[in-house]
Amino acid sequence: MQTFHHINSLRAVLTKERAAGKRIGFVPTMGNLHGAHLELVKLARSTNDIVVCSIFVNGLQFGLNEDWDKYPRTLLEDSQKLENVGCDYLFNPDDNEMYPNGLDTQSRVICPTMTDVLCGASRPGHFEGVTTVVTKLFNIVQPDEAVFGIKDYQQLAVIRRMVEDLCMGIEITAAPIHREADGLAMSSRNGFITSEERPRVSQLNQSLNWVKEQLEAGRRDFATLSGDASRQIENSGFKLDYLSICNSKTLAPAAHDDKAITILGAMFTAGARLIDNVSTELE
């Protein structure tokens, strides 16, 4: 695996790969890699000739009082993990390489739908930072396919819409959520969960699945279901951010005749904000 810190050097090698007819897959990350990240790379490896992974902790998507400064930087460990699963090229730029004119005057990419609800309501400007950096990375790598995890369901939906709206011609592939034995979705922020909290954090996933089971049993009282599931989480000792039953494509509140439904939730532990989702296709 080769590591590049500069855009021009990565572009040069990928231009040669592209000229040789190679299909390029791309997995963007912020590093501190765990098993779920590596599954994204394996999926990209299975459908492409060349796999590129990026590690960049993007300050543009972190809001005030968020954890940009304490987000773990584990480049040496991450590099070894990526090499072990067949990554060909690692792109690891610094802030000056990605934002040479500074964050304040950086041109932005804005998706006007699906970005001011759910996580977007709790983190103003977050998705503007995501769509901007992903567009920059897509322009640098110019992949045929990019792989994202379903755990960040709203992010996936926003990126799909952005790619469609901007006619990017990149195949966006969704990888399933990878979970711990108790159902907790793998996340870089799980390292901030305390040992006292750890036995209880699976409540988020349990409550989302409880709503799914109720919907599949025929219930459509969405507000009551959301309220009951929210109380389950709060009674477990966690602060709820949101729990919403949504149309899977638009992320609008689910209507009674919707068939594809996704239940999304976020909650706070003492040191982490955890997100999760489950989806269903109703009869």
**Options 5, 34, 37, 256, the catalytic residue:** 37
> Contact at 8 Å (CB) between 120 and 264?
no
Q: How far apart are CA 124 and CA 29, in angstroms?
A: 21
Catalytic residue status for 256:
no
Quote the tokens at residue 127.
């998705």
Quote the tokens at residue 54.
């990026």
Q: How far apart are CA 210 and CA 190, in angstroms?
A: 22
Instruction: Describe the chain by its helix, strand, coil percentages, rounded to 5.
Output: 40, 20, 40
Q: For residue 259, list its beta bridge partners.
A: none
DSSP label at residue 125: T
Sheet holding 273-281, edge to edge: 239-247, 260-268, 273-281
Chain-centroid distance of CA 17 in Å reads: 27
Quote the tokens at residue 230.
């929210």
Query: What is the crossing angle of helices 75-84 and 35-47, to 10°?
Result: 40
Give the side-chain half-sphere CA count within 13 A for 53: 32
Task: With CA atoms as reference, report the closest residue to 270 among 200, 181, 210.
Answer: 200
Residues acting as catalytic residues:
37
